Structure 1
Amino acid sequence: MEVFHFKASKGMDRDLYEAVSELENICRDHDDVRLKLELDYKLAKADTPDENSDEKLDDFTCWDGHRLVGYLGIDDFGGRTVEVNGMVHPEYRRRGIFRELFRQAKMEWEGRDSNEMLLLTDRKSKEGKSFINGTGAAYDHTEYEMILSDGLFEEAKGFSKDLVLKEATNDDAREIARQNSIYFNEELADQELLDIDLEKKRGFHVYMAVVQGNIVGKVHLHLTNGEGGIFGLGIIPEWRGTGFGRELLLRSVHKLKELGASYIFLQVDAKNDTALGLYRSCGFKESYSMEYYKLNKER
């Protein structure tokens, strides 16, 4: 009789990071699909704890002896929504492991203030879609991950505007929250104020886009192990149609390269044709598609 050991953890330490990374590589090679586990950010978050926030159970694991055979993670970035993604070792599937991991994670989510859970799966994953269909979650949207082609970027680069990047401070936290509420169509009250200094320790560099003394937008740049990500890039509505979005993107790429990034990526809603056109024109191309399915507590 098989006996598996399930465990829920607060914070990701180096040993768990290594074990989950190894399992992720096994699953990616076997299935040819991508996962969105945010392991680097979780590790950095554990290394730089926020004294003002309570640690939560975010990492759910299944072990066969000392071998990690299943993992499911909750990504909670604040606000009303959490994201969930996970995997089971190819040799241990169809034994109810992922169902139990999800049951535990769902119980944890039920006790939180967030009202929505987004279940993620690579568009190519038949197993992922099959499991999600059984949860009752409804399709919400698809995101493309896009990677920068240096050759295409070299053809596109060139600055013509007066926009500059100003490193954000904690004094900008309320403005950042206000812009996030605009870009992500969420209530301002649902936005948590960032601790900019703490985010920088975790590899996130936040910049305000400034034109002649006016804040016109912002961007969050993440760097770890030479891999750079562009997140939360946006221009305030009254400043759109001016070319500042393209300028902000190009300057963000240059800033990541200055910080040491050799690989740069971003994520975009598959239906956002305006953003897709902008990113493609600046040298980005689609890498893979991640589908999001929403589960509400009232359901």
Structure 2
Amino acid sequence: MFEMITKPGEYTLADQKKEPSISVEEYREGLNKLIIEWQQGDTPYLSLLMDPVFEEELKNQGFRVVSTIVEHERGLIEELPQILQSWRTLYASERTDNQFADIYEACKSGSVNKNQLFTMDQIMESLRLELGEGWRELAMLFYEQDEVIGMAIPHIEPNTTSEGRLFYFGMMPKWRGKGKATVCHATALHRLKELGASHYVGSTDTSNIGMIRIMVANGAAERDRKGIYRIDRN
């Protein structure tokens, strides 16, 4: 019922898998088991993505509301939008992992997303753990002449064969609001198709109006919303 990621001593993340065949009562039972397992572990907090219909129940369990995310989806079989030609993978570039981390941090600076869980070191570790050692061949850097203007990390969602996701997408601060983000995002969708994805699923905080507009501009329609809830160990 839940996708789980745990790093002992640091965090537990859970994402509800919405299935029509699973009843509300079954989700309640699964949630109770999830909380008990977390309580028996050693991570300082549990961050949960779950249908807002359970919000009052979660509050009663000790969770606080962090924010709400919205998911958008589009197929990748049909024609895709215009793309940017100037991009390279991190693997093909001359940049080091540390330089890539600096670009990543710059792109996420000033983010309106409310769920800021990880340090940059934790993000880089998550790349290796979730995407494998080949993550550098997935990471894309977008260019204007020789200047990096943004980045994306397209991949096939683990435990699926064709669901395309972006581990991260962002623009360098000076290139925001200049009409480049939509075409960079479209280029990442093309890359997802090349990787074998049949459809794209993107998610962002409901407060991130800019990212929502980019997804809509590239043909991704809203499909779902989930609340972000967190409980900390006493």
User: TM-score, normalising length from structure 1?
Assistant: 0.59
Spell out the pairing of 1:1-299 with structure 2 (5 A cutoff): 24=1, 37=3, 73=4, 75-76=5-6, 81-85=11-15, 90=23, 93=26, 98-108=31-41, 111-112=42-43, 115-123=44-52, 126=53, 128-148=54-74, 154=79, 157-159=81-83, 164-169=86-91, 171-182=95-106, 183=108, 187-188=119-120, 190-193=122-125, 194-195=127-128, 199=132, 205-223=138-156, 224-297=160-233, 299=234
Partner letter of residue 132 of structure 1? L
For the residues of structure 1 that align with 2:105 and 2:39, how far apart are their CA atoms? Answer: 26
- Alpha carbons of 1:275 and 1:257: their partners in 2 closer, same or farther (altered >3 Å)? same
- What's the CA shift string for 1:178-232, capped at 9, x where partnerless? 3444526564455445449963658982212222222222111112412211231
For the residues of structure 2 that align with 1:198 and 1:287, how far apart are their CA atoms? Answer: 25
For the residues of structure 2 that align with 1:230 and 1:208, how far apart are their CA atoms? Answer: 13
Alpha-carbon offset, residue 278 of structure 1? 1.6
For the residues of structure 2 that align with 1:79 and 1:179, how far apart are their CA atoms? Answer: 28
For the residues of structure 2 that align with 1:189 and 1:200, how far apart are their CA atoms? Answer: 16
For the residues of structure 2 that align with 1:91 and 1:241, how far apart are their CA atoms? Answer: 43
Partner letter of residue 117 of structure 1? L
For the residues of structure 1 that align with 2:9 and 2:104, how far apart are their CA atoms? Answer: 11
2:82 touches 2:187 (CA, 8 Å); kept in 1? no
Q: Over aligned residues, Cα RMSD in angstroms?
A: 3.8
Q: Secondary structure at the match of 2:132?
A: helix
Q: Secondary structure at the match of 2:61?
A: coil
Alpha-carbon offset, residue 94 of structure 1? 9.6
User: TM-score, normalising length from structure 2?
Assistant: 0.74
Q: Secondary structure at the match of 1:243?
A: coil
2:6 touches 2:12 (CA, 8 Å); kept in 1? yes
Structure with higher Rg: it is: 1
Partner letter of residue 215 of structure 2? Y
1:222 touches 1:230 (CA, 8 Å); kept in 2? yes
For the residues of structure 1 that align with 2:129 and 2:175, how far apart are their CA atoms? Answer: 24
For the residues of structure 2 that align with 1:242 and 1:78, how far apart are their CA atoms? Answer: 42
- What's the CA shift string for 1:95-151, capped at 9, x where partnerless? 96642441222332xx24xx542122123xx3x334412221111111111101569
Unaligned residue ranges in structure 2 (runs of 5+): none
- What's the CA shift string for 1:16-73, capped at 9, x where partnerless? xxxxxxxx5xxxxxxxxxx6x2xxxxxxxxxxxxxxxxxxxxxxxxxxxxxxxxxxx3
Alpha-carbon offset, residue 290 of structure 1? 1.1
For the residues of structure 2 that align with 1:92 and 1:286, how far apart are their CA atoms? Answer: 26
Alpha-carbon offset, residue 251 of structure 1? 0.5
Q: Relative contact order (alpha carbons < 8 A, sep ≥ 6): 1 or 2 greater?
A: 2
Partner letter of residue 142 of structure 1? T
For the residues of structure 2 that align with 1:79 and 1:180, how far apart are their CA atoms? Answer: 25
For the residues of structure 1 that align with 2:122 and 2:49, how far apart are their CA atoms? Answer: 22
For the residues of structure 2 that align with 1:95 and 1:279, how far apart are their CA atoms? Answer: 32
2:90 touches 2:136 (CA, 8 Å); kept in 1? no
